[in-house]
Amino acid sequence: MSKEIKVPAVGESITEVTIGQWFKKDGDQVQMDEVLCELESDKATFELPAEAAGVLRIKAQEGDTLEIGAVICVIDEDSVVSKSESSSPAPKADSKPKTSATGEVKDMVVPTVGESITEVTLANWIKKDGDFVKLDEIIAEVDSDKATFELPAEASGILRQVAKEGDTLEIGGLICKIEVMEGEPAQAESPSAAPATSSTAPSRKESYATGHASPAAAKILSEKGISPADVSGSGKDGRITKEDAEAAKKSTPAPAPAPKVEAAPVSVTGSRNERREKMSSLRKTVSRRLVAVKNETAMLTTFNEVNMKPIMDMRSKFKDQFKEKHGVGLGFMSFFTKAVCVALQEWPAVNAKIDGNEMVFNDYCDISIAVSAPKGLVVPVVRNAEAMSFDQIEKEIVRLAGKARDNKLSIEEMTGGTFTITNGGVFGSMMSTPIINAPQSAILGMHNIVERPMAVNGEVKILPMMYIALSYDHRIIDGRESVSFLVRVKQLLEDPTRLLFGV
C-alpha cells in the first residue's frame, strides 16, 4: 500500500510552499514521523514528517513550488529494504548479462513543472548517451525560470539522448528515449581484477557532480554572490551541498589589473558591473500579493499630521521610571497602538474585512506590526491589544521583533490580524502610501518626525511633526469613516492623557 504525502495547510492565506531541502533520498527507508524535508512559505520555514514507515518515492524536487494539497512524495509501506541485497557478492567477471531487450522504447518528455512555466532549458546530462539507466535514476538536470530540478528515468534500459545541453524545450517536448530492458547488466570485470595502478587513483570519483551545486546550495550561493567554482563540495563525487553553501564565505577579490587602453578620444571611468540574483520565495510571494491587493481593492489613502511634542514630553518625564518598573523601554508604538485600538472600536468598519459577499466585523483588535527581518518584511500580530497596558504592548512588540530577526516566528504569530501599523519613519520616510495587508481593510503608516514651523494661536512655533497616512479599502470603508478615524487618532496622540481616561 502506498501513502501519498501532500503539502499540509500551514496557515491562513498561504496557498503554496517551496521545497527547501530533502533530508532523505529517493528509495530510502524511512520511519513514522521521521523528518523528510524542509518546506518554505512566504512567512516561515517548517519540517515535513513522514506519515508512515516504508520506502520513500520523491515526486517533487528541491526548489519546486507546490500548492497546498499537492503530492510531495509517496511512501511505499509494503516495500522493505533488505540488508541481504546490499551484502550479496558481486557477479563474476565471466557471468552472462542479466538483461534482455523487450523491444519497447520509452519516450521521455518535459514534464509540467509549475503554473505559468511553458519552457525549460536542459542544463546538463548526468548520464551519457548509450548508458544503462535504472528506473527513477537521475539522468539530467533541467532549469526553468523558477527553479532547477532533476529528471528521473521513467524506465530501465539504454539511454538515447535527443536534446542537447543548452537546448530550450517546451513542456511536452521530447528529451530522450529509453530502450526498455529487463534486469541489470553484469559487471565488466570484478573489482579484484582492476589494475594495480588503480590504487594510486584519487579516492573521490570525478564526475558531472564535481563542483556542481544542488538547487538549494545554488540558491544560497547566488544570494551570497559566490561562484560555485570557489566552493569545495563535500557531497557525493564532490557535489556542493546546502551545508557547504551556508559555510562558504565570499573571498575578497584581488584588484583587477589596469586595462590596456589604446589611444582613444575619451577615457572610461567608473564601474559598469551588474549582478543578478534570483528572487526568493518570500520576495516572489510578497510581490504577487501586493499586486493582487492593488488590483482587487478600491484602495485610497488619506493623510493627516500629528504634533508629537506631548508624547515626547511624556516619554522624557516617565521613561526612566517606566523602564525601571517594567524592564522595557517606553516607545512610540505603544501610544500608536493604544490610540488605534480606541479609534477602531469607535469606527468598526476600519477593523472589518470582506469575505465573499459578506462584511466581517471584529469586536477585538489584533494589531499587526510590520517588522523588517533578514528575509524581508514580516507582520507579527499583537493579540487583543485593546485590553493590554502600555508595558504589555511594549513587551509583546519586543518579543515578536526579536523572533522576527532570528527567523523564528511561527505561522500562528503572523496570521489573523485585523489592522496593521507600519513605521517607515525609522528608515527616514517623510510620507508614503502604505499598501493594505490583505484580507484586512486598512493600514496606518507612521513617518519620521521633523521640526517644522507651525501656526499656534496666531504665533509661529517650531514643533516636532509627523505625517500619518491611512490606506483603506473604499469598498467597505467610506470617506467619512476613514477621515474621522484618522482625526480621532491624531486627537488621542496630541493629548495622550485621553488614553488614560478613555475620552
Residues 386 and 348 sit within 8 Å (Cβ to Cβ) = no
Residue 214 φ then ψ, to 5°: -65, 160
Is 212 designated active site? no
Cα(273)–Cα(232) distance, rounded to whole angstroms? 26
Cα(161)–Cα(131) distance, rounded to whole angstroms? 10
Cα(189)–Cα(187) distance, rounded to whole angstroms? 5
Cα(212)–Cα(309) distance, rounded to whole angstroms? 60
Q: What DSSP string runs through 375-403?
A: TEEE--EETTGGG--HHHHHHHHHHHHHH
Of 476, 448, 449, 452, nearest in space to 462 by CA:
452
Residues 307 and 464 sit within 8 Å (Cβ to Cβ) = yes
**Cβ contacts of 337 within 8 Å, gap of 6 or more:** 367, 369, 382, 385, 393, 421
Cα(204)–Cα(220) distance, rounded to whole angstroms? 25
Of 500, 460, 457, nearest in space to 318 by CA:
500
Instruction: Give SS3 for 304.
Output: strand
Is 143 designated active site? no
Residues 55 and 27 sit within 8 Å (Cβ to Cβ) = yes
Identity (one letter) of the amino acid at 89?
Answer: P
Q: Where are the beta strands (DSSP E) in 110-226?
A: 119-125, 132-133, 138-143, 148-152, 157-161, 168-170, 174-182
For cell 500500500, what's the residue? Answer: 1
Q: State CA 441 to chain mean position distance.
A: 25
Q: Which residues are catalytic?
A: 474, 478
